[in-house]
Structures are given as C-alpha cells and as structure tokens.
C-alpha cells in the first residue's frame, strides 16, 4: 500500500505529519509513470515536477492538495511545458500561459507530473486517434481493449494508480466513458462551473473541464479547488460552490427507454442490483420514458453541432503563428499544407462535416435544425429532472470494446444506452461515472446526472454508491 493510493485527506495527514514528503510522492508517481506500458503520457514532466516538489518543505495544514502529484490532459495549456492535444499540427508548441485550472492547482502546490494522451484534439471516443497511437486499458495487459476517449491518458494514469487524480475534458462523454471502461470516478461538472480558459476548445458550448479520481470523498475537495468564477472565461458562473450535508436518501430517475437498449447480462444485473441496494438505503426509484425519437436524435445532433463548432475553433491552427510551419508558394498553400499534414483524416472529416452543416445552403436544414433539436432535448431533460434528484443509468452497453471491433465511424443505429451521456453536455448538467463492477476482469460503470449547479448532492450520492459497490480506491495492479 502506497501513500499515493489513499484518499486525499489521508495522504494529507501523512504529509502534515511528515511521514512522507511531496518529493517522495512525486518520485514514486514518476517511477510508476515511467514503468507504465499503457502509452498514457504525451510528456512526463520529470524535471519540472522534481524541482517543484523539492521546493515544498513546510506543509500547509488547511490545503489538502499540498504536494499531491497529478497529471493533466494534454489539451490544457501549461506554461513552459509542451502541449500538443496529441495532434501533429501542434508538435513543438510550448504555451506561454497556464490554463486557469493548472494555475489554480499550482497555487495549491499540487505537483504536475505529466501531460496525458488524448484522441487528437479531444475529438474521438476510442483513445486511438492521437499522434502517439492507441492508449491501452490497464485492465487488459494483452493490449487488445481500448480505454475509450478522448481523455484516455488521464483515465489510464488514475486507473493504474500512477497519480491520485488527473484532469480531463468532456465534450460528449470524454471523461465519463473512459472512466467507466477503466473502473474509476470521472466528473463532468455543470457547464460554467470550472473555467475553460486554457482548454483547447473542441465545441465550447459543450466543452467541460473535469477530473478523474478513485475516491468519492475526493470529489468535493478537488471541486472546491477547481471550480469558481474566472474573469478570463465569460461563461464561467459566479454562483458560489456549496457544501452539501443533506439527507442521503434520493429520488433516483431511471430512463426505461434507455435501459431497453441495454442487453441482458452482467452489466444489467449489476445495475439492477445497485437499484435494489439503493432502495434498501432509503432511496426512491422513479421509472420514466425519455422519448425514443429524442434519444435517437442525440447522436446525429451531437455530431452536427460539435463538428460545426470544431471546424471554427481549430481554424486558428494554420501553421502561421504556432505549430509546424509548412512553406508554400502562397498563403493558401502554406495553410493547406499545415492543416492537411497536421490533422489526421478523422479530424479533417469532422471539419468537413462541420463546414458542410454551416454552409449557406445547409445551415438552415442542418445546423439550425440541430440547434433546435438540442433545445428540445434540453427541455425534456429538465422536465424529467423535475421528478427526482438525478438520472441514473449504465455508462455504456458493454465493457471496453476490442480495438478490432472499434472503428471511428458513425454507428448506423446508435444505441441510446451508448449516447445518453451527451444529454449532460447538451444541457450542461453535472454528470459523474461511478465504478459499478467487472465482467471478465474488465470494469464497467454507471452515471449519475443531476441538477445544474447542484454538484454537492451528486457527490453525496456518489459516496452512497461507493459504499454500496465497495469499489472506492480500486485500481488495476493495486496491492493490498
């Protein structure tokens, strides 16, 4: 048992009692990082982390993040540390500023040990499309199963116990899905809760900065450090972060038409088992239908809106200001070369879809229509949430897929159970994956989605669920 494996509050006590130092923790995290075979790091910030940790001598008693090593997804801007978003188009780019979340953790004296891999520019759900190739699921040492994306690296480093927590980003399900496939907690807060300043945008109206951890009790600690207003992000809310110490008996909404698309098997059994246990603990289960038409519209709507926003956000990457420069006879040629050499085919396809949807002839029938459908879906989610404290559903229909089964192609008939997480991005609602169990040694999870700006009760529900599953702190390779 290492100090790194403990909940933050316990690591903190050991640090305050000087049983262990930030440098010890950092060295151990770095050792684990270098031993990892999961292709989870873009950059291990060994020298930077050692220098930072060495300077931490006097423990700060009130600061639970003092001296805690962590990792950040490589689409968060880090001053002086390369940040590529796993894209060749940004090779060699070293930002001159910190993202707000990085700056806040630096202020808290948490130690950044490295930048983690992602699907290129955070667009993708497989963890296979970054310029360093696939990131592996630590639970499958044969390297045949994905961990999911796009925050694949951050999920892998927390799921394999390298660091107690890591930062990620979530536009469709990019934190929660890999968290589900790797048996850890993945948090997407309310939109506007955590500053996005310094997050490389994918689709800002749906982008969120969030985090991974292994202990439900760490959730509010990290949330308090990261959340709150930021003058650098106009969309960041000034609503105060509130602690929750209310009753832990919840009204839990289960969407039956989502559940209908979940095949019977271990996951369904585990999920239904958890419902029974929650009832035993005094929770009330409310069964509702969301509406199949709207559920089926989620994925195409998401693809159109996110691709449209992406085509605009990444237009700044043209090789003229940062990233590799490609000489050409004309500016058109220079830009075209930078973009066609810099982006993989998958990314270019998304841009093409986005551009197509926004073009003058298609704008009304594709983009504007998708916006309208998004509004309808959001309206329905909020209506459903009036019936309870949160919506509770399995995170995905299966354990992590095999690489050989997964193609980054649009599914012909998307299963609602595989796309309901997007509801949280459309409506900006807080949404958290909790580990639920294992099938053939591979983890799976369930997701709780609550009311806007009500993270507190959701964290309490997570603790309750952790209590029920007994999976708090679990990671691959842990030693008792």
Active site amino acids: 73, 150, 174
Three-state SS at 390: strand
21 binds other proteins (CB under 8 A): no
Q: What is the dihedral of CA 322, 302, 207, 235, to 10 degrees?
A: 110
Stretch that binds other proteins, among 96-104, 221-229, 381-389, 422-430 (CB under 8 A): 96-104
Asked if 159 contacts 182 with a C-beta cutoff of 8 angstroms, the reply is yes
Residue 252 or 452: which CB sits closer to other proteins? 452
Min dist. Cβ of residue 355 to other proteins (A): 6
Three-state SS at 166: strand
Three-state SS at 112: strand
From candidates 2, 144, 205, 463, binder to other proteins by CB under 8 A: 205
From candidates 47, 96, 238, 386, binder to other proteins by CB under 8 A: 96
From candidates 172, 189, 201, 394, binder to other proteins by CB under 8 A: 201
Asked if 96 contacts 79 with a C-beta cutoff of 8 angstroms, the reply is yes
Min dist. Cβ of residue 116 to other proteins (A): 16
From candidates 58, 360, 413, 480, binder to other proteins by CB under 8 A: 360
C-alpha 451/C-alpha 453 separation (Å) is 6
Which secondary-structure segment (H or E) carries 222? Answer: helix 218-226
Q: At what angle do helices 369-385 and 292-313 cross, to 10 degrees?
A: 130
Residue 400 or 427: which CB sits closer to other proteins? 427
Binding to other proteins, residues 328-357 (CB under 8 A): 331-332, 335, 355
From candidates 48, 88, 97, 272, binder to other proteins by CB under 8 A: 97
From candidates 316, 341, 365, 375, binder to other proteins by CB under 8 A: 316
Q: What is the dihedral of CA 242, 218, 445, 40, to 10 degrees?
A: 120
318 binds other proteins (CB under 8 A): yes
Min dist. Cβ of residue 111 to other proteins (A): 22
Q: What is the sign of the dihedral through the CA atoms of 139, 144, 148 and 149? A: positive
C-alpha 128/C-alpha 149 separation (Å) is 8
Residue 56 or 236: which CB sits closer to other proteins? 236
Q: What's 316's DSSP letter? A: G
C-alpha 412/C-alpha 168 separation (Å) is 29
Q: For the chain, how many residues are written?
A: 480
Residue 164 or 201: which CB sits closer to other proteins? 201
Min dist. Cβ of residue 125 to other proteins (A): 21
Stretch that binds other proteins, among 36-44, 130-138, 197-205, 413-421 (CB under 8 A): 197-205
Residue 97 or 244: which CB sits closer to other proteins? 97
Binding to other proteins, residues 364-383 (CB under 8 A): 367
Min dist. Cβ of residue 344 to other proteins (A): 17
Q: What is the 3-state composition of the chain as percent helix, strand, coil, each rounded to the nearest 5?
A: 40, 15, 45
- With CB under 8 A, what is the number of residues at the site for other proteins? 46
C-alpha 108/C-alpha 105 separation (Å) is 5
326 binds other proteins (CB under 8 A): no
From candidates 204, 229, 291, 300, binder to other proteins by CB under 8 A: 204
x/- contact string, 225-254, with other proteins (CB under 8 A)? ------xxxxx-------------------
311 binds other proteins (CB under 8 A): yes
C-alpha 91/C-alpha 98 separation (Å) is 18
C-alpha 104/C-alpha 98 separation (Å) is 9
From candidates 118, 294, 308, 415, binder to other proteins by CB under 8 A: 308
Binding to other proteins, residues 142-181 (CB under 8 A): none
β-pair partners for 442: 439
Binding to other proteins, residues 56-75 (CB under 8 A): 75
Residue 6 or 357: which CB sits closer to other proteins? 357
33 binds other proteins (CB under 8 A): no
CA-nearest of 78, 73, 87, 13 to 41 is: 73
* Pairing assessment for the beta strands 165-170 and 208-213 based on DSSP bridges: antiparallel
Residue 346: count other Cβ atoms within 10 Å of its Cβ. 17
Residue 117: count other Cβ atoms within 10 Å of its Cβ. 32
120 binds other proteins (CB under 8 A): no
Chain residues that interact with other proteins, rule: CB under 8 A: 75-77, 83, 85, 90, 93, 95-97, 99, 196-201, 203-205, 231-235, 308-309, 311-312, 314-318, 320-322, 331-332, 335, 355, 358-360, 363, 367
């Amino acid at each position: 048992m290492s100090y790194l494996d403990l909940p933050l509050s316990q690591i903190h006590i050991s640090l305050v009692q000087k049983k262990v130092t930030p440098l010890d923790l950092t060295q151990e995290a770095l050792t684990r990082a270098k031993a990892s075979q999961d292709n989870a790091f873009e950059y291990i910030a060994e020298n930077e982390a050692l220098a930072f940790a060495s300077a931490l001598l006097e423990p700060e008693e009130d600061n639970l993040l003092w001296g805690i090593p962590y990792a950040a997804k490589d689409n968060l801007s880090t001053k002086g540390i390369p940040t590529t978003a796993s894209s060749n188009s940004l090779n060699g780019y070293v930002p001159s500023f910190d993202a707000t979340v990085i700056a806040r953790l630096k202020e808290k004296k948490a130690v950044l040990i490295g930048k983690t891999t992602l699907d290129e520019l955070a667009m993708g759900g497989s963890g296979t499309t970054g310029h360093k190739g696939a990131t592996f699921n630590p639970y499958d040492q044969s390297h045949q199963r994905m961990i999911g994306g796009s925050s694949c690296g951050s999920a892998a480093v927390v799921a394999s116990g390298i660091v107690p927590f890591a930062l990620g980003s979530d536009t469709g399900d990019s934190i929660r899905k890999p968290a589900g496939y790797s048996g850890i907690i993945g948090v997407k807060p309310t939109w506007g809760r955590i500053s996005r300043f310094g997050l490389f945008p994918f689709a800002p109206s749906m982008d969120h900065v969030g985090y991974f951890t292994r202990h439900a009790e760490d959730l509010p600690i990290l949330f308090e450090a990261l959340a709150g207003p930021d003058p650098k992000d106009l969309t960041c809310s000034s609503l105060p972060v509130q602690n929750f110490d209310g009753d832990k008996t919840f009204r839990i909404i289960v969407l039956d038409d989502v559940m209908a698309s979940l095949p019977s098997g271990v996951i369904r059994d585990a999920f239904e088992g958890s419902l029974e246990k929650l009832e035993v603990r005094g929770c009330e289960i409310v069964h509702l239908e969301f509406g199949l038409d709207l559920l089926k519209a989620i994925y195409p709507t998401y693809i159109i809106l996110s691709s449209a926003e992406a085509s605009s956000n990444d237009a700044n990457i043209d090789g003229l200001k940062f990233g590799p420069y490609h000489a050409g006879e004309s500016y058109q040629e220079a830009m075209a070369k930078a973009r066609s050499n810099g982006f993989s085919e998958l990314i270019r396809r998304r841009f093409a879809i986005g551009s197509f949807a926004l073009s003058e002839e298609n704008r009304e029938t594709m983009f504007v229509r998708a916006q309208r459908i998004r509004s309808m879906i959001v309206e329905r989610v909020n209506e459903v949430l009036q019936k309870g404290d949160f919506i509770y559903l399995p995170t995905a229909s299966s354990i992590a897929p095999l690489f050989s089964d997964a193609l980054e192609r649009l599914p012909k008939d998307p299963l609602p159970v595989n796309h309901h997480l997007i509801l949280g991005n459309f409506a900006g609602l807080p949404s958290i994956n909790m580990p639920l169990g294992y099938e053939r040694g591979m983890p799976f999870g369930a997701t709780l989605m609550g009311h806007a700006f009500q993270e507190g009760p959701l964290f309490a529900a997570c603790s309750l669920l952790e209590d029920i599953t007994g999976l708090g702190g679990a990671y691959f390779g842990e030693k008792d």
